Structure 1
């Protein structure tokens, strides 16, 4: 199975979801809350009687606790990460799953990789401009826009299609700029979803040369 990451090829990229769900979900949720009489009553009473509104909200949360809090479904074992002559301009990222991934796992991986690609292409992972990360924690953050605009830009050049067969998957990348922060961002995201939500896997970074 091949999942196309080309944003100009239809609904998949436009919706940021293999199912083509688009961005309509948030609007639908907002409409549902507009038609929720219990929630409307709580909001209506919050100014007149804040304590009563708080009590009702706490009771509502207790009733819906099982729907809000979900048990972690991922793997307790840490995701393995290995590199073998990785080339930023021409390499494959391989995924080896403990079991064949479910459709929900594939969807989550696709959304993660798409988000990573977009942030990288827009220069969001530039280790030459991490002013706030380097600022003292006990002082008010300060951002120098002139310094930010004058650093050497980074970009994510190109990305291939996600190819999946049984418990293996791979995707070709041309990151272009030698920017390890981009890889850190992807590994952090995959590690978290592996632990919290989805799959147990190993990730390998191999040069295509």
Structure 2
């Protein structure tokens, strides 16, 4: 390694008259510090000489010894401290920090702060707006409600009606999945004729004797069919689905109400279920954007 010496120490010459004023000086220790750089200007080398006692007690001799040491070429690189300043700059530079904060991993955060990073007031406004939209999904109870779910009928027609479900808070994803699974199961059982109030042999039989089932009677009962059902639509804390049950079968509604009552009590609080009506107080027909809290779930 070619090492160039930046500095050298030059001591003034002392005249004999000045030396004669002193007999001798006690020996003292010296510490030699030298700063060097290589041909690569981004890397610097520092050499700290070890402290050692002077070889002579005579002042003039000591000064000459120091001058001789300053004129020597440094060849031993073992005592050099090698500092890579490029790495230091990368570690503490704003560019290095920005690369670590990769906004591509969080598009929502990038959308909020990407264009307002230098404007704290604007960033704060965006965050408050986002919190307002998603507050019900962030801050809410995750258990059911002790308040009984209300059931209201509003011009309900079995062959063409909406069923409305109003929650106390916007349901979580796991709650939506549970409700969709419940409605899907309800539809399958109804479509297969499982909720036929005309064939209630066991539930209507007395309990004081061994149950019996008349298969001939059961086979000859007019079947009930659940014709059609829509997907579940949700706007914030209100959900709706359209049904075409076909025949007037109250038992189908009882089965759904019983299931939703249990869900409200144990899992997610339901304020009320409304059967019938094409409009709802908190429902906007024109709201179809997911960013505004609208979503559709397959039944």
Common topology (TM > 0.5): yes
Select which of 162, 165, 174 maps to 2:235. 165
Unaligned runs of 5+ in 2: 1-141, 280-299
Whole-angstrom CA distance in 1 between matches of 2:277 and 2:217:
34
Report the 3-state secondary structure (helix = DSSP H, G, I; strand = E; otherwise coil) of the residue aligned with 1:132: coil
Counterpart for residue 113 of structure 1: 183
Whole-angstrom CA distance in 2 between matches of 1:140 and 1:196:
35
Counterpart for residue 134 of structure 1: 204
1:150 aligns with 2:220: yes
Whole-angstrom CA distance in 1 between matches of 2:278 and 2:218:
33
Structure 1 residues 152 and 136: alpha-carbon distance in aligned structure 2, compared to 1, 3 A threshold: same
Q: Does the CA-based 8 Å contact 1:82-1:203 persist in structure 2?
A: yes
What do the CA deviations read for 1:63-115 (whole angstroms, capped 9, x no partner)?
xxxxxxxxx93110000110011000000000111111111110111011001
Report the 3-state secondary structure (helix = DSSP H, G, I; strand = E; otherwise coil) of the residue aligned with 2:242: strand
Q: Does the CA-based 8 Å contact 1:87-1:207 persist in structure 2?
A: no
Report the 3-state secondary structure (helix = DSSP H, G, I; strand = E; otherwise coil) of the residue aligned with 1:74: coil
Q: Does the CA-based 8 Å contact 2:165-2:270 persist in structure 1?
A: no
1:206 aligns with 2:276: yes
Whole-angstrom CA distance in 1 between matches of 2:155 and 2:271:
20
Whole-angstrom CA distance in 1 between matches of 2:272 and 2:145:
12
Structure 1 residues 136 and 154: alpha-carbon distance in aligned structure 2, compared to 1, 3 A threshold: same
CA RMSD of aligned residues (A): 1.5
Counterpart for residue 194 of structure 2: 124
Give the TM-score normalised by the residue count of structure 2. Answer: 0.45
Counterpart for residue 45 of structure 1: none
- Which entry has the higher C-alpha Rg, 1 or 2? 2
Give the paired residue count. 138
Unaligned runs of 5+ in 1: 1-71
**Aligned runs of 1:1-209 on 2, under 5 Å?**
73-208=143-278
Report the 3-state secondary structure (helix = DSSP H, G, I; strand = E; otherwise coil) of the residue aligned with 2:276: strand
